[in-house]
Amino acid sequence: MRFSQIVAPIGLVGMAAAFQPVANKRGGDGQCIPYATAQKLVADWVTTLTTPSDVANMENVLAPSFSDYSDSINFVAGIPLGSVTFPTPGAYIAGQGAQPPIGVDVLNLDAVTCDGVIAVRWVGTVGSNVAEAKGISILHAVQSGSDCDAVGPTGWQLGQLFTEFNSAAWVLDIGGTCVSPAAQASRKLRG
């Protein structure tokens, strides 16, 4: 028996499994997150940054299991890289509440999957705003209740958040300094 006669059918079985409908990956009761609900979830998440005093919104949008990961935030805040940034909703609420509001303009909602993964590109405005702090966030929505059209405990909430942004621009905007290795080398040559 030839090798290709064995491998080809196995490869086809693997491909068929990969293209199975996403029904097994949907929310808790098998429902897909509607696009409009994903847009509302993104808008409510942005409000956690632009209006950090709105604790009721944060408590509504964050699932009890919520956690947030961002090496960009970790770098700026002095948290060890690779660590969870905010391990609980309470930590996120306290962290956002301890800083001034952040301006956020959503550039694009790039993807919404049936199982609640949402990709968002944005630009943040903070401090002196001398440099654009562009970022990408991946939101993982979880279905907390059976109402597919709702954001909150009766519908969809934010279960995990993964965010990365131009932390060099952010540091400059909040009054810090950030010089690239190439600029440092150039200064040494001229100096």
Query: pLDDT by residue (tens digit) across 148-165?
Result: 999 999 999 999 999 999
User: Would the pLDDT of 26 be above 70?
Assistant: no
Q: What is the mean pLDDT of residues 44-69?
A: 97
How high is the mean pLDDT of the chain? 85
Give DSSP secondary structure letters for 46-69: HHHHH-TT-HHHHHHHEEEEEEEE
Q: Tell me the longest C-alpha to C-alpha distance in the chain.
A: 72
| pLDDT-based confidence at residue 180 (cuts at 50, 70, 90) | confident
Query: pLDDT by residue (tens digit) across 74-112?
Result: 999 999 999 999 999 999 999 998 888 999 999 999 999
Which domains does the chain show, CATH number per domain?
29-177 (3.10.450.50)
Query: pLDDT by residue (tens digit) across 108-150?
Result: 999 999 999 999 999 999 888 888 899 999 999 999 999 999 9
**DSSP state, 80?**
P
Q: Which of 105, 169, 182 is nearest to 133 (CA)?
A: 169
Which helix (H) or strand (E) covers residue 186, if one does?
A: helix 181-190
| pLDDT-based confidence at residue 30 (cuts at 50, 70, 90) | low
Q: Which of 72, 50, 70 is nearest to 61 (CA)?
A: 50
- The pTM score is 0.80
Task: Say how far apart CA 100 and CA 96 lie, in whole Å.
Answer: 8
